[in-house]
Amino acid sequence: MSDSEFFHSGEAKKTQVQTMFDGIARRYDFLNHFLSLGTDLYWRRKSVHALQLKDGQVLLDVATGTGDQGFSALKAADVRVVGLDFSFNMLELAKKKIDARQLSRKFEVVQGDAENLPFQDNTFDALSISYGIRNVGTISAALGEFYRVLKPGGRMSILEFSEPQGWFFGRLYRFYFDHILPKLAGVMSSKSAYTYLPESVRHFPDRHDFKALLTSEGFHHVKHQDLTFGITAIYNGVK
């Protein structure tokens, strides 16, 4: 899929993204761990740590996919997790993993849209989203919903790919992302999904602009932390 074939925002993007994740769900976990060389587990831990979860709290994990961010949160504290995603196939895999780990009393999944959350105002103590915000149709609409469903004082942690800033590592990374990754993924899964990946990272707002967006949606204590030379970043905010 080329740049011009992919919509960058709005409803059309949502439909394409949903179809794409339904299509790659079966291979998603394997590719995630393989292509990140297992580093995603460390990135998730860092993102969960920023939430400062306390026993008894309820976490909403938006765009939960196959549930790995939720499992990471359950290792950090005795919380309850609600995982929301609009891909039926991703959620089916999350459910299988929840059952296999006997966590169904702690982790429930809900099919729904990040831009129109099926929850009342001020419901959750904390909210996470990992590698999901880049994929939503309209980022500000999703952020507005995150703010709405968080309780006052609730923490949010957003984990997302970003473009590394150093000249040398930046070039190396772009070469891997643009040329190696789509080929590897093409052999094992869907080439178009992993052509979309670098393209969507390029279209995501830079660190400064994204933090400004969080502030404009009402979040305070907004900050970011680069991980692994800046190929991933954590953004935090408090309602």
Ligand X SMILES: C[S@@+](CC[C@H](N)C(=O)[O-])C[C@H]1O[C@@H](n2cnc3c(N)ncnc32)[C@H](O)[C@@H]1O
Spatial separation of the C-alpha atoms in residues 76 and 82, rounded to whole Å = 15
3-state secondary structure of 136: coil
Amino acid symbol at 197:
L
The answer to whether 87 contacts ligand X (rule: CB under 6 A) is yes
Distance of CA 59 to CAs 10, 76, 98, 127, 155, Å?
Answer: 27, 12, 16, 5, 10
The least CB distance from residue 168 to ligand X, in Å, is 27
Paired tokens of 77: 């504290």
What is the number of the residue whose Cβ is closest to ligand X? 65
Paired tokens of 93: 């895999």
Pick between residue 9 and residue 166 the one whose CB is nearest to ligand X.
9
> Which residues, 8 to 27, sit near ligand X by CB under 6 A?
14, 17-18, 21
The least CB distance from residue 25 to ligand X, in Å, is 8
First to last CA, the chain: 38
Stretch that binds ligand X, among 79-87, 99-107, 183-191, 208-216 (CB under 6 A): 79-87
Nearest-CA neighbor of 148 among 77, 62, 68?
62
The answer to whether 114 contacts ligand X (rule: CB under 6 A) is yes
The least CB distance from residue 237 to ligand X, in Å, is 18
The answer to whether 68 contacts ligand X (rule: CB under 6 A) is yes
Please, which residues have CB within 8 angstroms of residue 201's CB and are 6 or more apart in sequence? 134, 161, 162, 163, 177
The answer to whether 85 contacts ligand X (rule: CB under 6 A) is yes
The only residue of 48, 63, 81, 222 in contact with ligand X, by rule CB under 6 A? 63
Stretch 152-181: interaction string toward ligand X, x if CB under 6 A: ------------------------------
Paired tokens of 72: 């990471």
Beta bridge partner(s), residue 80: 58
The only residue of 16, 48, 115, 164 in contact with ligand X, by rule CB under 6 A? 115
3-state secondary structure of 60: strand
Give residues in contact with ligand X (CB under 6 A).
14, 17-18, 21, 32, 63-65, 68-69, 85-87, 90, 113-115, 130-132, 135-137
